[in-house]
Chains A and B, each alone.
Chain A
Amino acid sequence: DAGITQSPRHKVTETGTPVTLRCHQTENHRYMYWYRQDPGHGLRLIHYSYGVKDTDKGEVSDGYSVSRSKTEDFLLTLESATSSQTSVYFCAISGGGADYGYTFGSGTRLTVV
């Protein structure tokens, strides 16, 4: 997707290990978001950022932390991965917030075994 890159695209990890997913943007957008998508639940917001070092929790933030030390990078860390965190994770960016719409990355498919 233009201007937004997620890495890795796929990852398999063991229960109890820490995992970090990266979202990188080249659009210089202020807002960045992390979602997870699961069958029957749709997109659920984990954390979001409205500026460097400014972050807030979403509806499913337990077990996740984020960091944003520069505009272009937003990191999502699973502190101690559990099988319930097996999911597809999407990063999104926006120049003006929710009322401007989001651009999504291609997603990271994470499996916790």
Chain B
Amino acid sequence: QKEVEQDPGPLSVPEGAIVSLNCTYSNSAFQYFMWYRQYSRKGPELLMYTYSSGNKEDGRFTAQVDKSSKYISLFIRDSQPSDSATYLCAMSSTSGNTPLVFGKGTRLSVIA
């Protein structure tokens, strides 16, 4: 079993829809949870960062962590064509030297 599992999609939604992207993980030591957005032919960019459990909101984006279920989610409200990208979850334990573990990414297309 991979440490981090993420459905690769592709996911196609109409403009204005609410999008839910998810990852599951197996390592209970993970404490830091991130979502990266990657546009085609670009490097990933950090979108959301959450420590431990709970929700974090930033504009149309909400990141949710459920450590009891080892499940994290990213919600996008009022999705726009400009949200079309690949979304990667990433997580780490408390050790600064231990690299991030990434999911494989979910490709999202928002259709106008």
A50 within 8 Å of B by Cβ?
yes
Q: In whole angstroms, how far apart are the Cα atoms of A68 and B102 in the complex?
A: 24
- Considering the chains assembled together, what is the distance between the CA atoms of A40 and B8 in angstroms? 8
Asked if A97 and B103 sit within 8 Å, CB to CB, the answer is no
- Report A-chain residues with C-beta under 8 Å of the C-beta of B95: 97-98
Instruction: Judge whether B96 and A43 touch: CB under 8 Å.
Output: no
Whether B42 contacts A58 by the Cβ 8 Å rule is: no
**Residue pair B99, A103 in contact (C-beta under 8 Å):** no
Q: If the complex has contacts A33-B99, A98-B96, A101-B34, are A40 and B46 also in contact, measured as CB distance less than 8 A?
A: no
What's the dominant secondary structure at chain A's contact region?
mixed
Q: Which of B8, B41, B98, B103 touches A98 (beta carbons < 8 Å)? A: B98
The CA-CA distance from A97 to B100 in the complex, in Å, is 8
Query: B53 contacts the other chain (Cβ, under 8 Å)?
Result: no
Which residue on chain B has the smallest CB distance to residue A91?
Answer: B43
Taking a contact as CB atoms under 8 Å apart, the answer to whether A90 and B102 are in contact is no
Contact in complex: B92, A42 (CB < 8 Å): no
Query: Does B100 lie within 8 Å of A40, measured CB to CB?
Result: no
Q: Are B42 and A106 in contact (CB under 8 A)?
A: yes
Interface residues of A in 72-113 (CB under 8 A from B): 90, 92, 96-107
Min CB–CB distance A96 → chain B (angstroms) = 6
**What residues on A are CB-neighbors of B105 within 8 Å?**
42-43
Docked CA distance A109–B13 (Å)? 30
Residues of A contacting B42 in the complex (Cβ-Cβ under 8 angstroms): 106-107
